[in-house]
Amino acid sequence: MNNHTDSELLVMFRNPETKHYAFNLLVKKYQERLYWQIRKIVISHDDADDVIQNTFLKVWGGLENFREDSQLFTWLYRIATNEALTFLKKKRTKLLLPIVDVEQQLMRTMEGDPFIDGDKTQLKLQKAILKLPEKQRIVFNMKYFEEMKYEEISKILGTSVGALKASFHHAVKKIEKFLEED
């Protein structure tokens, strides 16, 4: 089991002899949490797989210059979220799709992806979440599913705690409304 602290991993990473080993440990330590964060944004497993690999490539390139004045996990989470959002943006540009069509495409993925299973209520909630604006969707996912503190989310997304609280409040109201209408 990977019991190394972030500081230990960083020390090992800075040593050329243990660099690859340390990075391997880091991937093993954070892969699942980052994967699920990405997956909630891009929905499809194949897309999430692409995005998480790109995320770790970015981490590999930037870890040398990582300053320990912020938490490693916060930094990793920020890279993963940005990579997922950039992926959706690229998809939109590539297919010349407006935002609404991307949401509909994600909705179709929710119905057709072989790596989606869950009961009707879970799918219903996910579809309601997909109707939210991108930023609200991310905030809702981090707060509702990950049960993260607003302060943590604030560091990751670079948004004030007050704005995050308002965003989450609006998201919950909208989801409740979507579910009532459905």
Partner 1 sequence: MKSLEEKFNKKLPFKVPEGYFDSLPLRVQERIASTETQSTPKGKWIALRSQLSFAAGFAFMAMLSYLGYYMARPLIADKKTAKTDYVEIVSRTIYEFDDIDLYQAIEQKKKTDSLKESFKEMPHRLYVRSNNCITIIDEKEEIKP
Q: Does 176 bind partner 1 (CB under 8 A)?
A: yes
* Binding residue (CB under 8 A) for partner 1 from 4, 6, 18, 60: 60
Tokens 């020390």 belong to residue:
11
Number of C-beta neighbours around residue 115 at 10 A:
12
Task: Using the minimum distance from each CB to partner 1, give the nearer residue, 126 or 159.
Answer: 126
CB of 77 to partner 1, least distance (A): 17
Q: Does 35 bind partner 1 (CB under 8 A)?
A: yes
Q: Does 20 bind partner 1 (CB under 8 A)?
A: yes
Going by C-beta distance under 8 Å and a sequence separation of 6 or more, which residues neighbour residue 149? none
CB of 74 to partner 1, least distance (A): 20
Kindly indicate which of the ranges 28-36, 67-75, 81-89, 150-158 contains the residues binding partner 1, using the contact rule CB under 8 A: 28-36
**φ, ψ dihedrals at 79, nearest 5°:** -60, -45
Q: Output the CA torsion 138→134→88→40 (10° steps).
A: 30
Distance of CA 92 to the CA centre of its chain: 18
> Which contacts qualify for 128-132: CB closer than 8 Å, 24 or more apart?
128/174, 128/175, 128/178, 128/179, 128/182, 129/175, 130/43, 130/103, 130/106, 131/103, 131/174, 131/178, 132/171, 132/174, 132/175
* Binding residue (CB under 8 A) for partner 1 from 32, 64, 68, 101: 32
* Binding residue (CB under 8 A) for partner 1 from 62, 118, 161, 162: 118
Tokens 């089991």 belong to residue:
1
CB of 24 to partner 1, least distance (A): 5
Q: Per-residue contact track with partner 1, 141 to 160, x per CB under 8 A? A: ---xx---------------
Instruction: State the residues that interact with partner 1 by CB under 8 A.
Output: 20, 23-24, 27-28, 31-32, 35-36, 39-40, 43, 45, 49, 52-53, 56-57, 60, 115-119, 121-126, 144-145, 172, 175-176, 179
